[in-house]
Amino acid sequence: MKKVLLLLFLFCSISASAQKKYAIAIHGGAGTILKSRMTPEMEEAYRSKLAEAMNAGYGVLEAGGEAKDAVVAAIQVMEDSPLFNAGKGAVFTHEGRNEMDASIMEGKLLNAGAVAGVRHIKSPISAARAVMEDSPHVLLAGAGAEEFASEKGLELVDTSYFFVQRRWDSLKRILKKDSVQLDHDSKSSMLYSVPEDYKFGTVGCVALDQNGNLAAGTSTGGMTNKRWNRIGDSPIIGAGTYANNKTCAVSCTGHGEYFIRAAVAHDVSALMEYKGLSLKEASEWVVNKKLVEMGGDGGLIAIDAEGNVSQPFNTKGMYRGYKKSDGAMKIAIYDSEEE
Ligand code: ASP
């Protein structure tokens, strides 16, 4: 009898663990990313860094770790890489500075944290996480956010750490063309117009862990030539980042002013919660209908509690990838690549 019970117990625990799905998705920004303008070396560099970030997060999930830890692990790989517009390699403001934004949210209790306009925090996503876990607030900005990060023992670095020549050259080019400016001709005046070949290089990650918890995170240097301490959607919960275990986790990249006005990340969740749309239907509608009608360029990554992944974008490309516990995996860049 004892043996039968033991076998039954073993069978139950094996089948329970077999059901535990987990998955991760990442992005490294959307925009006018054309194969014709990419060298094979550059493309390979992006693909292998995306894979490294994805695997860093996936490893956390595979070992039974929490979704938020996976999100931070994946994002930190991209923050540390000069390829992406986050951490090292962040774009320059009009004044030639790097001002970074980041946010994180976990879907179980709707906890969230964010930092905006920080200039010395080596890993802005880790500061966002500290705000979520170690402060009574959701969003800290500027010098106060840096003071908080330093009190929490996070690494602060000299501003020169973030410098990447390619980003500096982009600022110079844009300043010359004066192409990111207030568009006074537009009917909806006070909107930035961005050059046609703009690339949004923000990074983000969404994850589902073995306990069924969802998390999302986003980290960025914002938009080249931004002024007046402009802050985009990335550190705004509900715009650039959102997670709710009932629905999905979302991280966005694109023209932040539109993403804030469309409340993009929360909108995807709300369409699922209130209208019963699937993850794919909800995210496609927001990116390819709502944003397109408003004129907002960009894309997002989203994951639901079943481990389904959706990665819609309305630009030429989006650096992206996903990996699931059922073995499905993909790294992609261009719009021509199948999902
Ligand atoms: N969404 C970011 C911002 O507007 C830019 C990006 O995605 O690259 O600040």
DSSP type of residue 160 = G
**207 burial level (CB within 10 Å; 0-12, 13-18, 19+):** buried
Q: Is the pLDDT of residue 1 over 90?
A: no
Residues labelled as active-site residues: 202
Per-residue pLDDT, 303: 98
Structure tokens at 162: 């973030």
Total Cβ atoms within 10 A of residue 283: 29
Q: Which residues does a 6 A CB cutoff place in the pocket of ligand 1?
A: 29, 85, 200-202, 220, 222-223, 232-234, 253-254, 256
Higher pLDDT, 174 or 261: 261
> What percent of the chain lies above the pLDDT cut of 70?
88
> What percent of the chain lies above the pLDDT cut of 90?
81
Total Cβ atoms within 10 A of residue 67: 33
Task: Report yes or no: 247 and 110 within 8 Å, Cβ to Cβ.
Answer: no
Q: Whose CA is nearest to atom 8 of ligand 1?
A: 200
Per-state percent for the chain, helix, strand, coil, to nearest 5: 40, 25, 40
Question: What's phi and psi for 32, nearest 5 deg?
Answer: -80, 75
Q: Which atom belonging to ligand 1 lies closest to the Cα atom of 200?
A: 8
Structure tokens at 19: 């059901």
Higher pLDDT, 33 or 130: 130
What are the tens digits of pLDDT across the range 309-327?
A: 999 999 999 999 999 999 9
Per-residue pLDDT, 182: 38
Q: Is the pLDDT of residue 7 over 80?
A: no
Q: Is the pLDDT of residue 192 over 70?
A: no
What is the whole-number distance in angstroms between the Cα of residue 274 and the centre of ligand 1? 28
pTM check: above 0.75:
yes
Residue located via tokens 């974008």: 313
Starting at the earlier edge strand, list the strands of the sheet with 23-31: 139-141, 111-118, 100-106, 214-220, 203-208, 23-31, 317-324, 329-334
Total Cβ atoms within 10 A of residue 238: 20
Q: Is the pLDDT of residue 186 over 70?
A: no
Nearest to 209 by CA among 22, 17, 20: 22
What are the tens digits of pLDDT across the range 275-310?
A: 999 999 999 999 999 999 999 999 999 999 999 999
Rounded mean pLDDT of 81-88?
96
* Residues paired with 251 in a beta bridge: 241, 301
3-state secondary structure at position 83: coil
In angstroms, the CA 313 to CA 315 distance is 6
